[in-house]
Amino acid sequence: MRVFMTKTFARWFRTSKLNERALLEAAAEVAGGRVEASLGGGLYKKRIGRKGVSGKRGGYRTIIAFRLESHLFLLFGFRKQDRSNIGEKELRVLTESARVWLAMQDSELDAAASRGVLQELKLDKDE
């Protein structure tokens, strides 16, 4: 399974206090079926703990697109203290985005990554 973040998510990620390891751990949990909510259409809500805050309740929320035997896409992120949830309009946009990303073949994903539309996450060999 390959893990990607969209350009929009990457912009938010840079302002968060998360690291790539936390995102990859969350991706593995989603692939293992451990999610907070299924939003339909291959979308899931996943909590990620914040450093210095016990547990995941005061941390971050991410919206992830995933389908078994496919790739995983980090689409949207927010801090729980900044907002309680996503709206209906955002859900519709994210559902359409998930449909598009999940239908792409490896060559299309590689092209999107080379254009900077997607960023693939990989752990360093030393980690």
Q: How much of the chain is helix, strand and coil, in % rounded to 5?
A: 35, 25, 40
The per-residue pLDDT for range 74-92, each reduced to its tens digit, is 999 999 888 888 999 999 9
Percent with pLDDT over 90 in the chain: 76
**How many other C-beta atoms are found inside a 10 Å radius of the C-beta of residue 117?**
15
pLDDT higher for 36 or 81? 36
The whole-number average pLDDT for the span 3-31 is 94
Instruction: Enter the DSSP assignment of 40.
Output: E
d(CA 54, CA 69): 33
Give the residue among 68, 77, 62, 73 at the shortest CA–CA distance from 108: 73
